[in-house]
Amino acid sequence: MYRQRSITTIVLPAIIFLAAAKGCRKESPAPATVTQEPARRSPRDRIASAPAAATSRPGPEAPCSSSLLAYPSQNPFHETLIACLADGDITRAQSLYLSALRGDIEAPVDPFDPIMGTLLRSADYTAARAWADTLLREPLSPSQAATVYGHLFTALVGMKRLDLVASYVPLLVEHVLPADICRIMRPVCLAAIDANGADSFEAIIAALAGFRYRAPALQPFVVGQQMRMLVSQDRTDEAAAMVQREAALFPPAEQKAILLLIAKRLAATGRSVDDINRFAHSALGVTGLSESARDAVAAWWLADAGRLSDYNEFLHRFTSVVSAHITPSVPLGALRSSYYEIRQSGTPVQQSICSSLVNAVHTCEGLRENDRQTFALLCLDDCFLDGNYKQAQALLERGVPGQSEEWHAMIYNKLEAHAAVQEERYADAIAGFRQHMRIVQNQGGALSDPASGDSAHLGVVLGLNEGRIGDIYTEMGQPEQALAAYTRARKHCEHAISDSPDGSAPHQQATEVLESLPEAHDSLLLR
């Protein structure tokens, strides 16, 4: 008996609604009318509409507390609407939807409104606007009204009738919560900005601003949109002054977004370095801005110098950022990222300044542990690049944070081999390089190139060291030993090339080392 009742409660409504669905088919007779009208429900008690962002996803995928709505295949009313829409009978679908919305029939109203979804997907914006106007005449809850206004403005944007948006603002403010107003109006304002529709934009902003005392949450939104319009019009100086003046209105994320918008616009429109520097200095000097916003400007400013490949500019900006008391990780991260490029491609003066900065940072008190490790390694590479092997050994003796005793021993031995070459102790140098090769072969682990900071393939390391041994034998006047060393170096590099993807750093490194080796043939013996 219980089983019969449970089936009946599902089957009877299904029969009624499927009969209504057949009424949408043009070849079928009209559906029978329901003789007993269910009690009307207040629209305030029904399921609230979804956010406007959901218009591109009509109901089937949408979760809902109602089991019927959660599974559209079990929702005969939804199937009825879909059947009408599939047959192009929009009028019938709208009539059914309104009947359910008003409580004239007992049916769950799909919160995503498949009718509006169909109209917007087909770009029938005129019909979508008319349908939204119809729905707005119904007694909607604030969240339902928010959804409908979102649909309406999507239609007006599609119709390119942004000039009509401002006329709806008073009713929008009357029926929709302030947070939803900002969410709904943001894409509308963006569309006006992108279309360079200054008149429509100003009308929308003026209409919203008229309610800022009634809904204070609108004020930051209005000011933020005004600044975005100024940026789009290349009035970046006015926008920068405005964001600094009104900084207290905005949360840190919004401050950061607007400042970066200004900065990127300056770069994209080819403004001079002086203009960019003036903006950055001004922003970094505003104490009312949040720490995260100032950090974001500083990071962008330093990265912009890298974009320009202007090492002098980078070094000047680095000094300014440090003086502005920005979070230390920002300038240190930029210096770490630019160090190898400046040391490889900069002028001798630029390289010297970069080295001085790295060494100064290394000796600073209060560095975070990972920064101490990073800059200790940079100092070590700096000594290697300058050929200051004894100074590098002194750094190792003091200890590099985060590195094992085995690592210290390996690097110390390598430096000793280079120092022996400088001092023309060739036998010691050859022994040192061979010892280093045995260590790296046995220990495994990550290897890096001190000239670039890039990871290195074992074959590249072995080939490079065999090449050095070949150079030493050549210097010593022992061509047969030199030829054998160069041959071994060539094999190591060829293995690294075959073992690495084309275009990868190890592949390029191996190719460069291979090309630097003398030709491996007997003519080497004639030198």
473: domain CATH number is: 1.25.40
* Whole-number Å distance between alpha carbons of 431 and 387: 19
How many CA atoms are closer than 13 Å to the CA of 492, on its beta-carbon side? Answer: 24
* 525 occurs within a structural domain: yes
* 323 occurs within a structural domain: no
* 325 occurs within a structural domain: no
Residue 9 has what pLDDT? 40
Residue 469 has what pLDDT? 95
Residue 488 has what pLDDT? 94
* 167 occurs within a structural domain: no
User: Residue 424: how many CB atoms within 10 A of its CB?
Assistant: 11
Instruction: Using the CB atoms, write b or e for 191-205: b if 16+ within 10 Å.
Output: bbbeeebeebbebbb
Residue 30 has what pLDDT? 40
Specify whether the CB–CB gap between 225 and 242 falls below 8 A: no
Q: At what angle do helices 329-345 and 311-323 cross, to 10 degrees?
A: 160
Instruction: Write phi, then psi, for 485 (nearest 5 degrees).
Output: -65, -45
pTM of the entire predicted model: 0.69
* Whole-number Å distance between alpha carbons of 393 and 210: 71
Residue 97 has what pLDDT? 87
Residue with tokens 């690592």: 407
**Residue that terminates a domain, selected from 124, 144, 163:** 124
Residue 67 has what pLDDT? 34
* 91 occurs within a structural domain: yes
Domain count, the chain: 2
Q: What is the DSSP letter of 49?
A: P
* 473 occurs within a structural domain: yes
**Residue that terminates a domain, selected from 68, 103, 124:** 124
Identity (one letter) of the amino acid at 352?
S
* 69 occurs within a structural domain: yes
Structural tokens at position 298: 């500083």
Q: Where in the sequence is the domain holding 452, given as residue range(s)?
A: 411-527
**CA dihedral sign of residues 403, 405, 411, 416:** positive
**Residue that terminates a domain, selected from 91, 124, 157:** 124
Residue 112 has what pLDDT? 65
Q: pLDDT per position in the chain (527 positions), as tens?
A: 333 434 334 333 333 333 444 444 444 334 333 333 333 333 333 333 333 333 333 332 333 333 333 444 456 777 888 888 888 899 998 998 898 888 888 777 665 688 888 898 899 999 999 999 999 998 888 888 899 999 999 999 999 999 999 999 999 998 999 889 999 999 999 999 998 888 999 999 999 998 877 888 889 999 999 999 999 999 999 999 999 898 888 899 999 999 999 999 999 998 999 999 999 999 998 878 999 999 999 999 999 998 888 999 999 999 999 999 899 999 999 999 999 999 989 999 999 999 999 989 888 877 888 888 889 999 999 998 889 999 999 999 988 888 888 888 888 888 999 999 999 999 999 999 999 999 888 876 567 665 555 677 889 999 999 999 999 999 999 999 999 999 999 999 999 999 889 888 888 889 999 999 987 554 444 44
Residue 325 has what pLDDT? 87
* 186 occurs within a structural domain: no
